[in-house]
Structure 1
Amino acid sequence: IPWIDENVYKNNLQEQTRNDALTHEQLWDKIIGDFETAYNDLPEQPSDGGGRANKVAAAAYLAKCYLQRAWGNGYEDSTGVKFINKDYMQKVVDYTDVVVKSKYGYLEDYGDIFLPDYNNSKESIFAVQTSDYADDHTTYGRGNWSNMLNGAWQMWSCGWDFQKPSQDFVNAFKTENGLPEFGDYDKANDHPVNGKPTAQKWDPRLFHTVGMPTFPYKYEEQYTLTTANSRTPNTYGYYTTLKCVPQRSKGETYNGSWQAFAMNDYVIRYTDAMLDRAEALIELDRLEEARAIINAIRQRAANSVSKHIGYAADQCQISLYPDTYFKDKETARECLRWERRLETGQEHERFFDLRRWGMLSSTLNSYFAREAKDSYDGQGYAQYYKDAHFTKGKNEFFPVPYNQLYYIPGLYTQNKGY
């Protein structure tokens, strides 16, 4: 990538800047340098309240940078466990120490995290800010315009049912004796039905994350989801995303030819930073400390049933990890990776997690093969996956767009494999 900063603009050098002038490590040094400046200069909490960048947000970003950097350069042949830089992992722990000692923390109920009533709560370290017209005295508010696309079909007049959860994702929430099923989770497809509990139990976070027919939409029983709330289910399935949209009864800050609402978008939340910390602790052989973090997150999930999803209480079961799961690093890694998938599902982290761990090709190609055969109540879908394939050494990164590549001929180099 090209490095374009204020000095490039000041000297009008945009059209003389190459995208291969800096190495991978040099680019990381530049990015980290910017965040270090922010960390050193920003107050821990601005005097005019929440929602602004601060020292803790910079620390969380620095931890995330070092975590990504610690695993390798992103291409699978040079990324993964054997490439881990423990000095960088220690930096993750050092910077998340700042987060741990700050005013931020876990919200008591998982469901509250994704309601606009809790914008800028103690869970929110850094978020894209929105507002309602009643708060900022504008005509329509400074609303979130894009996430309306993710609203359920026919639930919102402008909901287009984007960002569809997969069957594989739903299967991942299965539990046995309260713990993930790991290697057995996808041997059979399943989904809960409201009012019809079975022997199969589920991590409570499923009901906060995925909208499913027969269940209330975002906790409101007057807005129960049906199969009609999915756009072209024979292509995309019947599940709908929940986290990035508000409850239907809360209405819109703008309701016209399009819709918008006043709900922030998380960039980094406290639990995300703690999972970064747990990941680094595992690689530094501090497995019990990592288990304590992961179990605290699971305990919050266990406590997140009665307030919002009482209707699913008899279908939920989640337990804490016993110490036997954290006696070796490989098992501890599996627990951490599973926890990250369930805790941050539908929050746009998954691809980058898999790339960091060097697991994209094995995970995605296996997923394509399974999902192309899936059905929901006998209705097949996702046939577009039957010819899909992830090529390692290429698809870890997108190509440089044609228009950019030829805007300044000779200065930009195409990414590997394209």
Structure 2
Amino acid sequence: MIKKYIMLAACTLGLSLSSCEDFLNYTPTAVVGEDEALANPENMVTAAYAMLGDCWYTYPFNLFPYGDISSDDCLKGGSGTTDTGYHAFDIWTTLTPTTPGEMDELWYRLYVAISRCNRALISLERNGDSLGKDVKEQRIAEVRFLRGHFYFKLLTVFRQIPWIDEKVVEDYTVEDNSYENVSNTALSYQELFQKVIADFEAAYNVLPVKKPGEDGRANRIAAASYLAKCYLTLAWGDGYEATTGENYINTEYMKKVVSYTDKVIESEYGYLEDYGDIFLPDYNNSKESIFAVQCSDYKDDNTTYGRANWSNTLNGCWKMWSCGWDFHKPSQNLVNAFKTKNGLPMFDDYNDEIAYPVNGQLTTQKWDPRLFHTVGMPTFPYKYESEYIMTKDNSRTPNTYGYYTSLKEVPQRSDGETFNGSWQAFPMNDYVFRYTDVMLMRAEALIELNQLDKAEKIVNDIRDRAAKSIDKHINYAKDQCEIALYPDNYFSTKEIARKCLRWERRLEMAMENGRFFDLRRWGIASKTLNAYFLTEQNDVYEGQTYGQYYKDAHFTAGKNEFFPIPYNQMFYSPGLYTQNKGYE
């Protein structure tokens, strides 16, 4: 495809030379050539960092449609099932390589980000000595961390991808176009992951251990967290259910998860005291935040619109914000999962009956307090503020998507937005890793290594923080909350420990864009989602039914574990790419 563009450009140039020689001799201004750009390695590194937040709702780098809308935690939302192409992610049956453009946009933009990383590495190799030896080595490590970050996302969504690094870029010539020789099956899934791991290891071996909030750059603890996540992903199998799950555990990889999370524990990162504070912009870079995409408010950084979080621009609450488009809607199944009995989860019967709390109306049903930090519900204050009470009018299409709204990715209403136009955008950092997430990964690995008591201690520490997260922000729901620690030795078997860990991860990380990837890692996506589709289509809230479109939903194991390679990428690379299994 690149050759075709070059030939077209050459033909056009030839015609122009015959009639517009004077015009072509003009040297344009405000244009930076590649050689000039590569001469400034610090700027090239900054350009690579800038791609962390260079996202949009059609290519959200936080992957909320891929990790949440596709799961049992979330309904798509919006004006109806035809609003964006994400409906196919919600029901799976209509997901194809030609599903409207969002998948292709994500693929393209992530490779743009990788291209910036590769060019930054070339710049550092050619001109990095001007920075001094130590700074040069650190910048190379930072850029390799960033490249690993973007490749991890591509692997997570699309599985079989072409690996393009700085060598491929340097080797490119018009005569021998190295890009056109890179197949998406040149490396296996495992080999691709080892490439990503090599990038994170390079970062881990060089980057400093920084204090929380020191700056937004990559650091050694963030690299350790990513290495733990890579090994945890691989430890369960290859992602397809037939070869993933409890029968495919790689204990050596699980040991690596524990080893790398040791480094996180030894750092100054830790649990923020109140769960609600984690999701307020005033705590954007607290000790809970190991690595996050940095955002800011225009009032603070003196820019026109601030450094907004554009991934979540559709996810504001309808009529609470002037243009809240009401996407990313919590499911009834998720709300039910927060039910407690004697302070512990109702593992076996949580979804037998539809229930939801009503402000000021006490019942015998009690709830994990994290529900009120995660899900906005009618009758309750919106994000803790009593002057903004949610009603049923705050849902755009209640007959399709119900009345709940997601709270974690938005600020308090009184704080306002940093951009207000046809969409809202907010100055909320996007977590890549927060401390609790990493500790849950550690507990997961410890269980598979038969260190059940240590895993139980981690889970109870997290539950203890949740129990102490009532008075500051959700005192209005205090009488509806009940949460307890697991008794000593409750994790008596792997089966019990797994159940508790997986439940805890769901509640703690709800609506943080990763639920589907958890289900896939454990090899239980088809069982979980197909059961969810059967019950969620019967949703009702005060007489209003919704979710009936799930009658058309089905998750097919051996296919839907990964998303298809976008049609445009297959079309522009004929014969070079192989489609993912089941989407041929």
Q: Which TM-score band (shorter chain)?
A: over 0.9
Q: Could you say what secondary structure the match of 1:325 adopts? A: coil
Q: Offset at 1:50?
A: 2.4
Measure, in 2, the Cα distance between the counterparts of 1:408 and 1:145.
Answer: 30
Counterpart of 1:134 (choices 276, 285, 299) is 299
Q: 2: CA distance between counterparts of 1:341 and 1:153?
A: 25
What do residues 127-148 of structure 1 show as CA deviations (whole Å, max 9, x unaligned)?
A: 1111122332222211223323
Contact 2:526 2:555 in 1 (8 A): yes
C-alpha distance in 2 between matches for 1:248 and 1:395: 38
Contact 2:440 2:501 in 1 (8 A): yes
Q: 2:368 maps to what in 1?
A: 203
Higher deviation after alignment, 233-242 or 378-387: 378-387
Q: Which amino acid aligns with 1:60?
A: S
Deviation at residue 325 of structure 1 after TM alignment: 2.3
**142-151 vs 270-279, greater mean Cα deviation:** 142-151
4+ residue segments displaced more than 4 Å: none
Identify unmatched segments of 5+ residues in structure 1.
none
Is this contact kept in 1: 2:212–2:285, CA < 8 A? no
- Cα shift readout 1:239-268 (whole Å, capped 9, x = no counterpart): 000000000000122233433221101111
> Does 2:572 correspond to 1:407?
yes
Q: Percent identity?
A: 70
Residues 107 and 113, structure 1, Cα contact 8 Å, conserved in 2: yes
Partner residue of 1:88 out of 253, 258, 268: 253
Residue 175 of structure 2 is aligned to residue 15 of structure 1:
no
The normalised TM-score by structure 1 is 0.98
TM-score, normalised by the number of residues in structure 2:
0.70
Residue aligning to 2:478: 313
- Whole-angstrom distance in 2 between the partners of 1:132 and 1:357: 38
Counterpart of 1:159, as a letter, is: G
1:143-193 deviation per Cα after TM superposition (whole angstroms, max 9, x unaligned): 223323111100001111110000000000000000000011001010000
Instruction: Say whether the 8 Å CA contact 1:46–1:52 is kept in structure 2.
Output: no
Q: Offset at 1:408?
A: 1.3
Task: Tell me how far apart the structure 1 counterparts of residues 303 and 413 of structure 2 sit (CA, whole Å).
Answer: 22
Instruction: Give distance in 2, aligned partners of 1:236 and 1:257.
Output: 22
Whether the 8 Å CA contact 1:204–1:316 is kept in 2: the answer is yes
In 2, Cα distance between equivalents of 1:209 and 1:48: 24
Determine the structure 1 residue equivalent to 2:165.
5
**Cα deviation, residue 324, structure 1:** 4.1
Q: Any conservation in 2 of the 1:197–1:314 contact (CA below 8 Å)?
A: yes
SS at match of 2:441: helix
Q: 2:417 aligns with which of 252, 266, 290?
A: 252
Structure 1 residue 144 corresponds to structure 2 residue 277 = no
- CA distance in 1 between counterparts of 2:553 and 2:391 reads 30
Asked if 1:33 is matched to 2:193, the reply is: no
The structure 1 residue matched to 2:272, chosen from 85, 104, 107, is 107
Choose between structure 1 and 2: higher helix proportion.
2
2:490 is paired with a residue whose SS is helix
1:173 aligns with 2:338: yes
AA aligned to 1:178 is: G
What is the match of residue 234 of structure 1? 399
- 1:297 matched to 2:457? The reply is no
| Counterpart contact for 2:213–2:285, Cα < 8 Å | no
Partner in structure 1 of residue 236 of structure 2: 71
Secondary structure at the residue paired with 2:432? Answer: strand
Aligned to 2:498: 333
- Give the alignment partner of residue 371 of structure 1, picking from 517, 520, 536: 536
| Corresponding pairs, count | 418
Do the aligned partners of 2:375 and 2:406 also contact (CA within 8 Å) in 1?
yes
Which secondary structure state, in structure 2, belongs to the residue aligned with residue 182 of structure 1?
coil
The 1-side partners of 2:573 and 2:542 are apart by: 53
Indicate the SS of the match to 2:327.
coil
Residues 148 and 158, structure 1, Cα contact 8 Å, conserved in 2: no
Task: State the Cα distance separating 1:48 from its structure 2 match.
Answer: 9.4
Question: How far apart in 2 are the matches of 1:115 and 1:176?
Answer: 29
In 1, are the aligned partners of 2:213 and 2:287 still within 8 Å (CA)? Answer: no
- Report the Cα distance in structure 2 between the residues aligned to 1:298 and 1:41, rounded to whole angstroms: 35
Question: 3-state SS of the aligned residue for 2:292?
Answer: strand
SS state of the match for residue 218, structure 2?
Answer: coil
1:272 maps to 2:437: yes
- CA gap 1:202/1:37 in 2 versus in 1, 3 angstroms: same
Q: Find the counterpart in structure 1 of residue 209 from structure 2.
A: 44
